[in-house]
Structure 1
Amino acid sequence: MSFEDIERALIIGKWSKELSSSEDSEIAKLAEKTIEGQFSEVLKSSSARDLLAIDSANGSNDLTAPFDALVALPTKRSGDSYRDELVRIIVGVACLHCFVQANWTGPDIDVKPGDVLLQSSASISEDNLNQKAIAELAYGGEPAYHLAQAATFLRISQIIFDLPFVHCKSASWWRFRTARIHQHVLDDPTPLPPQFISDLQPLYADFASQRDLAGRLSLEQGLLQHHHGNDKVALQHFIDATKYTGMEYELTGALGKRTKFQQTDLSQLVLLAESRNRDTESLQPAEVDPNMHSVVKPSPDPSLPETLALNDDTLLEQTEFTSTSKGASGSKLSHIDPSSQPALHPLDQCILLSLCLNVKNTSPSHGLTTEQMAPYVSRVVSHPQNWSIHTMALLLRSRLESSRTRTVERSTLQLQALVDQMPTADSSLAERLLYFHVLPLPSKWELEKELASRFLSLGVVKSALEIFERLEMWEEVVKCWQSMERPDKGISIVRDLLEGRKAEAETVISRAKTGGSESRRQVVDSAREAKLWCLLGDLEPHNAVEHYERAWSISRETSGRAMRSLGGFHFTHERYGDAIVCLRKAVAINPLLARSWFVLGCSYVREGNWMGARDAFVRCVQIDDEDVESWNNLATVYLRMGTSQSGDGASDKERVDVDENTSASSSSEATFNNKLLAFRALKQALKFSHDNWRVWANYMLVAMDVGDYFEACRAQARLVEDRSAKVGVEALDYDIIERLVDVVTRPPSTESQEENSAQETSETESASASATRYAHGLPSRVLDLFERTMLPRVSSQRLFRAYARLLTGQRRWADALKAYLDAYRMGRAATMEKGEELEESAWRDAVQEVEDIVDILRNFGPRVDAEEKRDADGESTKGGLKWEGQARSILRTFMARTKDNFEDDPAWEKLTQLQEELARN
């Protein structure tokens, strides 16, 4: 067998007997031992010692030099043979998996970094090695978790895989895996250099004939994107992985029962899934037929994590589907029985668990999310085949059940059981590592932290506090004391740590070994010490600036946390210029944290720097495209950019004069383009906040400005539906309503001319689009807005007038006249009482209303009469208007109510003359 086959075996994590007959038996034995988890033998071999041993002759006993200078690895090995490179790969994999065993899968490792790195002449302690590695693992301003075990192995694997490789194509894959594990050691994720991703692309072509390898690669990339919060990119990688592996899956419904007392089968959500036909060996311990259409469920395997029973008096352990229930007709999976689905390949199970994570990330936080995720988890839990996969499935189920009263007990107990199983040796290390890289499995400390957080949510504060203190997660310890209304205790702990009265575990060991060198402690613990000063700044607002600045100084200006905290402090105290300076440094250190970009954008807005605000909010929505507030703010910024002559917030003295040759059309084009961008931003905001009426109101205004009248109608309808019951006519925007009526009551050509004259060349297309929409149903849509949405819910004089103008444009004279009369009846002239005292201006307005309605009756009355005469039966379809009599009645009633107070007013003569004119008719 060739070296390429050994490379692939290392990637997959499975050794076959055929590989033992390799042309190089020593390499084959090292690779086999690495895959089987015999890391002690591999790392103590002569090949590993030649690579890794630290020699005291290098003058490295004081650990002042970085690791890559201490270890006997030359930085340039371009002349190495394929065999030499493969040895480096094997040693690097052994180091990486040794670190994973110590901190993720368990059980405890039987080899220490010092056993491999230190020669007898070296006088460096094991703990100093670990502390130095943790200090070097700090990256992007984020410290590494200081209690990570055997961190030296991770640092050494980084150094090995960063060396140049010419022959071994899998080196870039292992470099990526090492970087992904490193991300989970940091407090917050940080961006990776682009080459980590770009170097993986050629591997797809190399593994094109091996579908499972390509599926693994795509899945691992998706998990990194998931960790960084890039949900859309992650989802695409997960979908690509299903295509590579050939798995078919479908979320559908099937009849079944969920409770013990349920009598009638109801439709239940179920995930139907089927793997492509593979060798049945990969599906052990389940026994499957060659076609993968049936499965005999194996007896419980003692090597797998314990699956706790629910033991509820109402809920069933799992949904019982009707045996005859099938998938939807026409589906590729319609042949599968939901009650007895075939076992999936373990790699396909990993993909389903990843898709489940993406459902959580891309769905709103309500009950539907849990209902969507549960079928994915159930499909995997029902066929346990691998220790790591089953652990991850049980962990996801525990998270889903944590919010339900009937399942919260099992959820917490199951999480405790998963924590307890880590140190055990109930399953082989090779099995635990087999699918580790294609799972989002948390580390030991993350799992224990989650258990402590679960205790805290249940009110079991003391148990949570004990776990957090053991993990030395001081922020969480402070939160526990605050929940017990003892904030002073939290401050005391942080001050004791900083002043040396209370020491962390590694610091105690370090002082014992090195004689308590204070300078050494500051070098090793600078990242953690800076974090403690930031925490103290959070707890003592009166000294916050001093503490944050000290954290920044101690970290040698690398602490993103210090600048984030200081920038936020300045923002809350309205020192926006100072906040911008600090937050720019913070996002330069770690650009993946959306909150920092958001506060920076808000600071720019307060300073009037629209270009800076735009860039900040764009980064926010790139990181989290469901951030409604950022989308809304981005739209506001675009609109302000459209009306502001200076987008950079510069003062008048700093602004550069506009060139005299700059045309007005260019300014108009820029303004209109910014409005379009604002419109698109608000449309994105509505996708994720459909019930936010303020976003709908902004969306309606911008839609009118860009000429999307259909969307303006939809937004106004939504506002009336949501708010009219509470605020009545305040849900209406009369300006928008009247503009919509104007659009549909004037000819399209006129509309185009007006818009072109207003906004020149940029809006020519918008005007043309408006003309097209006019011909494709906009009048009927506006009419529907009045008759189906607004008028059944609210009424006002201005609304009826707009409705009457719309009907007039459609030449519906009788309906238009009725709407005008309804508007008059809601006006001041019709509602005033006899003898009521009015201001002179109010009286004159009322007189104008009477004159207007009489003129309308004069103009519309004959047209309505003409319509009635043309009726085929010669009968009035409107019940007979008799407009002359109605006009006289309106005038007579109004004059009778106001005669006592306003008979001597000059406007009274107008009413008298009008009465005489009507009498002559």
Structure 2
Amino acid sequence: MSPTGNTLSSGTGISAKPFSPDVLLSMEKATSGSSLNRLLTEPLSRELVNHFAQDIANQEWDSPNRYQTSTSHPTPTAELPKVAVSLGFASLAAFLQANVTGPVPDNSEVVNTTFLEAFRRTRESIASTDETKVAEDVPISKLTIENFRSLCQRSLATDGVSPYSHIPYIELFCLARFLFVTGKILPNDQFNPTTRHLAWVRMRVQLWHYKLLTQPSLGPGSLYTKSGRFTDVATLEELIKIGLADAEAAVFRTGASGEPSGSSSWPLESQVLFRLEEANCQILLGNDAKARQALQDATRLSGFTYALSGALGKRTRFQENSFSQLVVLARSLQLSSELVERHKVKEAAPSALPLNDDTLFERIQFNSGGTPSLESSLPIQLQDIKPDDQPKLNPVDQIILLTEATLKDTFSPSDSLTLEEILPYAVRVIDDKSVNWQIYTQALLVRSRIELNRSRTVERGVLQMQAVADQVIVNTQDPSPAAISQQDSTTSVPTIQVTLDKEFTTLADTNKPTSFLPAPKLSESATPEERLRYVNALASPPRWHLESELAYAWTSIGSLVSALEIFKRLRLWPEVALCFASAAASDESGGRGAGGEEKARAIVRWRLFNPSSITVASKDSLDCISNEDNLDLDSIKPGDFYGPERSPPPPNAPRLFCILGDMENDANHYTRAWEISNRRFARAQKSLGELHLQKKEWNKARQAYQLAVGVNRLSPELWSRLGDIELHLGHFPDAAEAFQRAIATANEKAGGEDPRTWSNLGTAFLSWYREVIAETETKKEKTDNIEDMVSTKRATELGRSATQLLQDSLAAFKRGATVADTNWRIWDNVITLAASLKPNPAFDDIILGVKSIIRIRKTESALDIEILTLLVREATRAPVTVNDGSNKIYEPSRGTLEYKIIKLFEDDIVPLITLNSAYWGLVSRLRAWQHDFSGALDATEKAWRTAVGGVGSALSASSGSSQEGSWLTNAEQWGVVVQRTSDLVAAYEEYGSHIDGIGSKWKGKARSAIRSVMGKAKESWEGDSRWTTLQDMVTDLR
């Protein structure tokens, strides 16, 4: 990014002293707390605020630089860099204090007055440049701080996605972003020696920008960390990745190869914290492998040792015997003297609610013996630790444990086993002797998310999350938390609010949250400095995310009204609309859902359109949608808001238009969302594509999804859907490319690298192969030009032969079968393709596929006679060498193909054969090849009995397909019985003399078998040609 205006490197003549890590750390520590008010009184800081206000005002119009001529630049002085950095640190700290940790910064009037005066001066400057333009706006004397915050809000919109529209003190974050990131005051070039170490701060600001854009979404587990996957802002994601690389280079002095040089000017704790911030950044972006690597680096730097192990203990009050319970054993490398002193005093921490269950213990009661039997597998540092008496941990090591829990929670399947693995990490931090306030809050939040999934702990999980939210929100919104803290919980009175059925309070009554839980005590509230110390290294959600997660927790126990009230208080109108629509859908069967979807439509239309009575839109660029505080949801109707679109559009207008498009099934709404976002909101085209698919308009759907992936090329879901469309349209090369991109961009087994995508990729390659073969045959007949052979041309351009396409198809199906090893249909495709390879089928893959299908289906109907015949033919292709006339059974060498085929038949196929005589015939043939004559004769006898013994259940000797009726009445089955009888006679003749107990008696046994068949078939088939065959066999045996 090339900076606009004067910066430290733009030739000001000022020699700026480089900011060393020690200087930056001391400045950051000095500016946390209440230093912002003091900084804002300094003239140079006010000049920077004025410049910031001018920059925000310039972004208001279509041309960002329209009024650039009226914009002055800060006076270049030797103090400018230091003041800019200090002001940036203080602004970011105050913003996080107000929105993440609490309490609200003191003397907010100073902040409001400073920014409002700068904004009004900027408007006066604009008015002197273009009076006509400003005449349409709010008079300067009536401008409020909310008007300025609205512009700041709009400046953060990225790729059509806007942040939460009611963020307190949003101007503080925008000021920090303006100073650190834009390059208009401080250089943003990592190679600039003056500000090189500010790369970490720039990355941090960009990451918080991304966090402000993430939208709450319904779903289990840690919604905040999972919500990043649903945030479609590819532009900002790319900037974060670049910023992360720059910050790593600055902190660890990495070179071109990306490897650390081994020496860093940052303290060790800062290096560990950077790796933890990197891990949480990668978790939010959905990169599990990179997050895992960053966490491992942090653990290595800290010298921290921990392990998830087992120890004997009791979990319930009525448990008589101890069983192995999961526990996290952890030991820090060493504690500093400062931490040792701090551990002597109990630090302030939020209230941890008791479980109060009549069955479960509050904590697992471990045996006094400690960890059993598996001590040798633990690191030596952990072998002498007792599970219920573990050493104290460093705060950064506690964060490592919570990051491990967050990593597992975000990327692991949501099942009981995963929850059991995550909980011990949070419990280890909660049970520690002394914990930082924000770290302890995060540990309680992690535990609450897990307990929401258990019937006996769901009550504590919801109430604990409510308590955490209350303590953060009350501290955040109340400027005097100390007064509340000093209140005794025994005398505090809960706030109770009663409403009639189907009656909702107005937003004015619910702006300030109330709770039935006691107000926090003094011991439960920490200083702003303490709360902010580790906030960037934790996955701490902003307050609106925390409240929305609480709302979803209430919905998990059926309290949809409580969730609705929270969303109304947060003014998350898309969520309010979706909540009404969900309530309507869930109650529709009982007749109680009427009107819910209409309310949802009314809310969305109210946000997007003027009332129907207004025919001409009055452009008010500073207008946030009015009357939010007095909105009566029961009074508004969709028909009341069919006027012109609001101008400017509200925050998140593209998302609102998409929701309205879903409700009204109108493609125009999706198109409008696409236009408003400047063709950057991929969800608009995705929804439009789905609408075209409902109407079977495949080509239009294809165009929509091509536009969607053009904007967001990192979405496996979009690529996979585009591949489905291409596959349906017969564009097999394009389908293969789309599925490959879906797999390449997938970070887990969902949306991209799942069995369905792999299977579709295999189908695309297989269809492509068939097209190439068909085009090749057509070319031989008509000698067409290769330009007309589309599939062949694409394959040639990519260097893929027809054989390679078939092999790629097989590889894709194999991968899909590996991912979903219980899906027998994919394994069936693997077998079919492996058998189709020429000149040599992939017999190992065939064997693997047959074994997998047998494992899954466990029935004879899962067998394929043609495939098994192919295997037997290959195994018996080379004759066995007989040594010295020995009757010893031939055993192929282990690992050979013959050995694998024999093991498959004997171990897996033989136990399944019950109805199909053809399978016994293959077994007999295989055993005879081994010189196992007794076994071969036994298999032939079983084939004969299978054919003769079942009336109405005999099967075809060749195909194995079931035939109706008995062989006494069915000519085809009668032929099978005769063939099996002939095979049995031949087996007696060939093998009988080699088998002890039969010898010369084989003729008698053969005659007995023939007469048995003839006795049953005399009435039905006497005189038939095959009857004559049996008579001839009897004659030959005399």
**Does the pair score TM above 0.5?**
yes
How far 1:268 sits from its partner (Å)?
1.0
Tell me the residue number matched to 1:236.
293
What residue number does 1:641 align with? 768
**Paired residue for 2:114?**
115
Distance 1:859 1:445, change over 3 A: same
1:538 aligns with 2:679: no
The question of whether the paired residues in 1 share the 8 Å contact of 2:951 and 2:966 is answered with no
8 Å Cα contact 2:52/2:175 also seen in 1:
no
Question: 1-side partners of 2:769 and 2:848: how far apart?
Answer: 25
Identify the residue that residue 1018 of structure 2 maps to in structure 1. Answer: 899
Please give the alpha-carbon distance, in whole angstroms, between the structure 2 residues aligned to 1:312 and 1:574: 55
Aligned to 2:680: 558
Counterpart among 173, 178, 188 of residue 154 in structure 1: 173
Alpha-carbon distance between aligned partners in 2 of 1:454 and 1:578, rounded to the nearest angstrom = 40
Contact 1:228 1:592 in 2 (8 A): no
The residue type paired with residue 169 of structure 1 is: R
Cα distance in 1 for residues equivalent to 2:804 and 2:104: 61
Shift in Å, 1:200: 2.7
1:377 matched to 2:426? The reply is yes
Q: Does 2:90 match 1:94?
A: yes
- Aligned-pair distance for 1:242? 1.0
TM-score normalized with structure 2 length: 0.73
5 Å matches for 1:504-543?
Answer: 506-508=624-626, 522=646, 524-525=648-649, 528-541=652-665
Q: 3-state DSSP class of the match of 2:292?
A: helix
- 1:247, CA displacement in angstroms? 0.9
- Relative distance call for 1:739 and 1:365 in structure 2 (3 A) is farther
Measure, in 2, the Cα distance between the counterparts of 1:259 and 1:647.
Answer: 68
Rounded to whole Å, the distance in 2 between the matches of 1:339 and 1:835 is 72
Residues of 2 paired with 1:230 and 1:73: CA distance?
44
Deviations 1:165-208 (A, max 9, x none): 52222221111111111111113433322422331332343464
Query: Whole-Å Cα distance in 2 between the matches of residues 913 and 76 of structure 1?
Result: 114
Match of 1:490 among 586, 593, 600: 600
Per-residue Cα deviation, 1:429-463 (whole angstroms, up to 9, x for no partner)? 11111111111111111111111111112111211
Which amino acid is the alignment partner of residue 608 of structure 2?
Answer: L
- Structure 1 residue 625 corresponds to structure 2 residue 621: no
User: Is the 1:252–1:328 contact (alpha carbons within 8 Å) kept by the matching residues of 2?
Assistant: no
8 Å Cα contact 2:921/2:940 also seen in 1: yes
**Structure richer in helix, relative to its length:** 1
Q: CA contact under 8 A between 1:247 and 1:276: conserved in structure 2?
A: yes
Q: Please give the alpha-carbon distance, in whole angstroms, between the structure 1 residues aligned to 2:966 and 2:324.
A: 69
Matches of 2:931 and 2:699 in 1, distance apart?
60
| TM-superposition CA deviations, 1:878-913 (whole Å, max 9, x none) | x76833222222222223333334333344433332
For residue 787 of structure 2, give the secondary structure of its aligned residue in structure 1. Answer: coil
2:1013 is aligned with what amino acid? F
Equivalent residue letter for 2:924? A
Structure 1 segment 856-875 matched on structure 2, within 5 A: 856-862=987-993, 864-865=994-995, 868=996
Tell me the distance in 2 between the aligned counterparts of 1:592 and 1:476. 26
Q: Under a length normalisation based on structure 1, what TM-score does the superposition of the two structures give?
A: 0.82
CA deviation map 1:352-410 (0-9, x unaligned): 11111222244333210011001111111112411211111111100000011111111
Deviation string, structure 1 residues 122-144 (Cα, Å, up to 9, x no partner): 44532222111221211123222
Distance in 2, matches of 1:184 and 1:748, equals 70
C-alpha displacement at 1:34, in angstroms? 1.2
Against the structure 1 CA distance between its residues 100 and 557, is the aligned structure 2 distance closer, same or farther, given a 3 Å change threshold? Answer: same
**Are 2:980 and 1:849 equivalent residues in the alignment?**
yes
**Contact persistence 1:132–1:524 (CA under 8 A):** no
- Counterpart position of 1:45: 42
2:197 is the counterpart of 1:170? yes
Give 2:417's aligned residue. 368
Is contact 2:623-2:648 (8 Å) kept?
no
| Aligned mates of 1:857, 1:586 — CA distance in 2 | 71
Distance in 1 (alpha carbons) for counterparts of 2:70 and 2:749? 46
Instruction: Name the CA distance, whole Å, in 2 between partners of 1:451 and 1:106.
Output: 18
- In 1: Cα distance, 2:845 partner to 2:730 partner: 30
Residue equivalent to 1:470: 569
> What is residue 226 of structure 2 aligned with on the other side?
none
Q: Which residue of 1 aligns with 2:589?
A: none
Distance 1:827 1:252, change over 3 A: same
Q: 1:282 to 1:688 in 2, by over 3 A?
A: farther
Does the 8 Å CA contact 1:54/1:117 hold for their aligned counterparts?
no
Counterpart Cα distance in 1 of 2:713 and 2:943: 58
**C-alpha separation in 1, matches of 2:318 and 2:56:** 76
Q: Percent identity?
A: 29
Code of the aligned partner of 1:452: A
Task: State the Cα distance separating 1:615 from its structure 2 match.
Answer: 3.0
Task: Describe the shift of the 1:442–1:68 C-alpha distance in structure 2 as closer, same or farther (beyond 3 A).
Answer: farther
- Distance (whole Å) between structure 2 residues aligned to residue 746 and residue 86 of structure 1: 85
Q: Which amino acid aligns with 1:127?
A: E
Match of 2:384 among 320, 335, 342: 335
Q: Secondary structure at the match of 1:600?
A: helix
Alpha-carbon distance in structure 1 between the residues aligned to 2:536 and 2:856: 48
Please state if 1:717 is matched with 2:851.
yes
Quote the RMSD (CA, aligned, Å): 4.1
Relative distance call for 1:149 and 1:348 in structure 2 (3 A) is same
Secondary structure of the residue that 2:987 maps to in structure 1? helix
Question: For 1:702-851, what aligned pairs fall within 5 Å after superposition?
Answer: 702=833, 709-710=843-844, 712-724=846-858, 728-747=859-878, 776-795=895-914, 796-827=916-947, 838-851=969-982
Instruction: Specify the code of the residue in structure 2 equivalent to 1:550.
Output: R
Alpha-carbon distance between aligned partners in 1 of 2:825 and 2:23, rounded to the nearest angstrom:
57
Give the drift of 1:238. 1.3
Deviations 1:457-506 (A, max 9, x none): 21112111111122232343233323242322222322333333599994
For residue 247 of structure 2, what is the aligned residue in structure 1?
200
Q: Are residues 570 and 791 of structure 1, via their aligned partners in 2, closer, same or farther at CA, if it must alter by over 3 Å? A: same
Q: Distance in 2 between matches of 1:276 and 1:896?
A: 89
- Per the alignment, do residues 313 and 42 of structure 1 end up closer, same or farther by CA in structure 2, a change over 3 Å counting? same
Structure 1 residue 523, shift from structure 2 partner: 5.4
After the TM superposition, which residues 111-510 of structure 1 pair with which residues of structure 2 at under 5 Å, given as runs? 112=111, 115-116=114-115, 118-119=117-118, 121-122=121-122, 123=140, 124-162=143-181, 163=183, 164=187, 165=189, 166=192, 167-186=194-213, 187=215, 188-189=230-231, 190-191=233-234, 192-193=237-238, 194-206=241-253, 208=264, 210-282=267-339, 285-287=342-344, 299=346, 301=347, 303-326=348-371, 328-329=375-376, 331-332=378-379, 333-383=382-432, 384-422=434-472, 423-424=474-475, 425=481, 426-482=525-581, 483-484=583-584, 485=593, 486-501=596-611, 506-508=624-626
- The one-letter code matched in structure 2 to 1:918 is L
| Matched position secondary structure for 1:138 | coil
Structure 1 CA distance, aligned partners of 2:936 and 2:159?
A: 69
Q: Distance in 2 between matches of 1:414 and 1:829?
A: 69
* SS of aligned partner of 2:375: coil
Distance 1:573 1:367, change over 3 A: same
Question: How far apart are the structure 1 equivalents of 2:835 and 2:272?
Answer: 47
Change (3 A) 1:647 1:907: closer
Q: Which amino acid is the alignment partner of residue 164 of structure 2?
A: Y
Amino acid across the alignment from 1:400? I
Give the 3 Å change call, closer, same or farther, for CA 523–314 of structure 1 in structure 2: same
Which stretch of structure 1 is more off in the superposition, 58-67 or 34-43? 58-67
Preserved CA contact (<8 Å) 2:161 2:654: no
Once structures 1 and 2 are overlaid, which stretch shifts more, 189-198 or 350-359?
189-198
CA contact (8 A) 1:679 1:699 kept: yes
